[in-house]
Amino acid sequence: VADRGAQQGFRFEGTAHIHETDDFANHILDKTNIFDRFPRAGVVVIDVERIYKLDNTLEAGIQIA
């Protein structure tokens, strides 16, 4: 995630979990009209494990969480 104008941002790293046809996906997607436009849809949940600072400073690249 970055704000190019402010030259600030963060990089998130973690594990992605893809849900397409399970109960969780159905619970989320049933609240939308996504299938009116697309034949398939899914939900992605990301377990954020690390966050890095991407500011245009000497702190760029430092892990903050």
Q: What angle do CA 16, 1, 35 make, to 5 degrees?
A: 55
What are the chain's domains?
Answer: 2-53 (2.30.110.10)
What does the pLDDT look like over 5-56, one tens digit per residue? 999 999 999 999 999 999 999 999 999 999 999 999 999 999 999 999 999 9
Report pTM: 0.69
- Spell out the residues 6+ positions from residue 14 whose beta carbon is closer than 8 angstroms to its own: 46, 47, 48, 49, 50
